[in-house]
Chains A and B, each alone.
Chain A
Amino acid sequence: MSTKLKVAILGTGNIGTDLLVKVLRSEWLECRLFAGRNLSSPGMMKADQLGVPVSSKGLQSIVERRAELDLVFDATSAQDHLQHAGVLRELGLLTVDLTPARVGKLCVPAVNLEECLELPNVNMVSCGGQASIPIAYAIAQANPSVEYVETVSSIASRSAGPATRINLDEYIATTEEGLAIFSHCAWTKAILNLNPAQPCVHMQTSVLAKIKEPDLARTREMVGAMVKQIQAYVSGYQLILPPMIEGNRLAVMVRVEGLGDYLPKYAGNLDIINCAALAVAEAHARRRADGALALKNRASL
């Protein structure tokens, strides 16, 4: 029997399709179902070409195939996930939510992966959140009095489709909440800029903080360590401006180059949330494999 974790992806748009390619490449995961609403969408057709079972029955197909599944990625929309969450919980299926619904605990793998493995539903915050929150966390770890944290993300206009554009306010609210929770700083702000330059720019995120008596050396250390941790699951994550103090603020800048699995490489903002979601699922898979191994070892004693 395979030790791979059996997963379903709900939501067959660009994000779901890119996630599918990542899952197929993973040693730890097996995609048993790619479910959405439209069999003729490019994502569905690609999945079918790759030999992955597809269904246009959405959540219903997951209900029907519950026995074959361990974990579901929800890459639909916040509105849809609010409907899905209850059903998935009742089915006892592990859920990784890539929408801004925030039903479950906010998860940033580099920061709180272990805790999140105990929970049935985790939320991946937002693209900007995945890029900035770990840095904000590291800054908070290095400095006792962080008064204010701000993150500014700049993404290629072409990487922001109609759904992103109409939900800008939700993105801001979710990211600010994530920043506040992880940096233990009540006062946070998130800003998003779209850059229309051609060729498309890669995602760039700055984290700025107002700190009383900042410890620059320690901040550099902690941020450096955090960047390495993130790079373990987001290989295109790069520190381009190490922590520096300019006037009254601390500034750090990172750039995220996507893997280019299905989404273009400049859409690092979308890639990072998929990489983070994948990291959660793989951690579940590893934990289960370790657990199975431990059982096996005990049995053979």
Chain B
Amino acid sequence: MKSQRILVTDPTLRDGSHACSHQISVEQIRRYATAAEAAGVDYLEVGHGNGLGASSLQVGLSLVPEGEMLRTARACLKNTGLSVHVMPGFATVKREIAQALEIGVDLFRVGAHCTEADLTQRHISAVRNAGKEAWGILMMTHMASKEVLLEESKKMQSYGAQGIVLMDSAGAAVPDDVRQKIGLLAEKLEVPVGFHAHNNLGLSIANSLVALEAGARIVDATARGFGAGAGNAPLELLIAVMRRQGYPCRADLYKVLDAAELAAQLFAENLPGSNSVTIVSGLAGVFSGFAKPVQRAAKQLGVDPRDVFFELGKRKVVGGQEDLILEVASELAQRKQSAPPPAPLA
């Protein structure tokens, strides 16, 4: 089992976009992509945090237009494949996917909320028809049972997905959840299964390791964990652990460590860390990418961002529903205003 090579996908330049309000520059792309190519990761994922076509007022405008981001990365990569994240509802076949195909993207990871796989049918088909590789991504996987995840994965497989990756978008999973879910999919699906961890509860490496033990053959990790919320599984730690446990991969440890050092410099202002907001969002099961907009709205309306997270969690909001942040924060602010003053202690 451990003789099979593990595919490493590095979304530093995509998930990392969330960490810096989508302000990744051309220079950062060029320098990191070069390091990623040298490090030997299998795929480098580039683009707005929410994928193709997501640059918007809703989830944040990208500093650099999508085409330019992809072209910049494309030019730096040779053996490492160029990957993009695609969410139907944001990206369309005729516009964003067509442009990405033209630029020479190798892998399209088409994602939907973990119960809505049928949204990806046309997009996965379009990619496959164009002769490129497509994977299916299920997001916010803490919100569905393993049986539901299997059912949804099978749909994506039937559309032509050549890999299925479960994303713990909220960083809410604990190792046993991962073992059960990845285990079932690895057992029942024909295509390779992958895991994308977030570190809100400090479990990203543990969860990724358990995923591998349960049969995952694809793992996502970013340099220094540069990504949404409390960040992703740090690439340099994951490669080190994989080496320790005997999981073969194409990546070179030293070059990965170098890439991580570079990332520490390049993204110094936005390196992920744990704080009360990221911990609470992990507990509340709310998408990691909400951290900055929640903090902003909470500050603007004078409410506790932690309360906003728990309220959003109660409403079971999913990625892309950032507009609800304003509504919830406003509601909490109103509630605060109309609440009676605390009774004085006798």
Judge whether B89 and A157 touch: CB under 8 Å: no
Q: Is B296 an interface residue (CB 8 A)?
A: yes
Q: Is B18 an interface residue (CB 8 A)?
A: no
Judge whether B300 and A194 touch: CB under 8 Å: no
Chain A 201-240 against B: per-residue CB contact (8 Å), 1 yes, 0 no?
A: 1001010111000000000000000000000000000001
Judge whether A150 and B57 touch: CB under 8 Å: yes
Judge whether B94 and A169 touch: CB under 8 Å: yes
Known: A157-B116, A246-B326. Contact between A197 and B315, CB under 8 A?
yes
Q: Is B34 an interface residue (CB 8 A)?
A: no
Chain A 159-200 against B: per-residue CB contact (8 Å), 1 yes, 0 no?
A: 000100110110011000000000000000101111111000
Judge whether A191 and B327 touch: CB under 8 Å: no
Known: A168-B89, A168-B122. Contact between A194 and B327, CB under 8 A?
no
Candidates A166, A192, A253; contact of B89 at CB < 8 Å: A192
Q: Is B119 an interface residue (CB 8 A)?
A: yes
Judge whether B323 and A204 touch: CB under 8 Å: yes
Most chain A beta-carbon contacts within 10 A, residue among B56, B113, B316: B56
Candidates B57, B92, B320; contact of A148 at CB < 8 Å: B57
Most chain A beta-carbon contacts within 10 A, residue among B58, B296, B330: B58
Judge whether B119 and A251 touch: CB under 8 Å: no
Would you list which residues of chain B between 306 and 340 have a CB under 8 Å from chain A? 315-318, 320-321, 323-324, 326-327, 330
Judge whether A194 and B58 touch: CB under 8 Å: no
Judge whether A241 and B315 touch: CB under 8 Å: no
Judge whether A208 and B57 touch: CB under 8 Å: yes
- The docked-state distance in angstroms from the alpha carbon of A157 to that of B326 is 22
- The docked-state distance in angstroms from the alpha carbon of A247 to that of B93 is 31
Q: Is A249 an interface residue (CB 8 A)?
A: yes
Residues of A within 8 A of B320 (CB): 152, 154, 191, 193
Judge whether A162 and B118 touch: CB under 8 Å: yes
Residues of A within 8 A of B143 (CB): 196
Name which residue of chain B comes closest to A198, CB basis.
B316
Q: Is B115 an interface residue (CB 8 A)?
A: yes
Judge whether B119 and A194 touch: CB under 8 Å: yes
Residues of A within 8 A of B93 (CB): 169
B246 to chain A, nearest CB (A): 39
Known: A192-B89, A194-B119. Contact between A251 and B316, CB under 8 A?
no
Residues of B within 8 A of A195 (CB): 316-318, 321
A247 to chain B, nearest CB (A): 7
- The docked-state distance in angstroms from the alpha carbon of A176 to that of B317 is 24
Residues of A within 8 A of B254 (CB): none
- The docked-state distance in angstroms from the alpha carbon of A210 to that of B61 is 11
Chain B 75-102 against A: per-residue CB contact (8 Å), 1 yes, 0 no?
A: 0000000000000111011100000000
Known: A169-B93, A195-B316. Contact between A154 and B122, CB under 8 A?
no
Q: Is B270 an interface residue (CB 8 A)?
A: no
Chain B 267-304 against A: per-residue CB contact (8 Å), 1 yes, 0 no?
A: 00000000000000000000000000000110010000
Judge whether A165 and B119 touch: CB under 8 Å: yes
Most chain B beta-carbon contacts within 10 A, residue among A191, A195, A249: A191
Name which residue of chain A comes closest to B325, CB basis.
A246
- The docked-state distance in angstroms from the alpha carbon of A204 to that of B318 is 14
Residues of A within 8 A of B324 (CB): 154, 204
Q: Is B121 an interface residue (CB 8 A)?
A: yes
A-B pairs, top 7 by smallest CB distance, nearest first, are A208-B57, A197-B316, A206-B323, A169-B92, A193-B320, A249-B57, A192-B89
B interface list, Cβ under 8 A from A = 56-58, 88-90, 92-94, 113, 115-116, 118-119, 121-122, 143, 296-297, 300, 315-318, 320-321, 323-324, 326-327, 330
- Complex A-B: 26 CB contacts under 8 Å: A150-B57, A152-B56, A154-B320, A165-B121, A168-B88, A168-B119, A169-B94, A169-B122, A191-B56, A191-B58, A191-B89, A191-B90, A193-B320, A194-B116, A195-B318, A196-B115, A196-B116, A197-B316, A197-B317, A204-B323, A204-B324, A208-B57, A248-B57, A249-B57, A251-B323, A253-B326
What would 10 more interface pairs be, CB under 8 Å, given A157-B116, A173-B94, A195-B316?
A150-B58, A168-B122, A191-B56, A191-B58, A191-B90, A194-B89, A196-B113, A197-B316, A210-B57, A241-B330
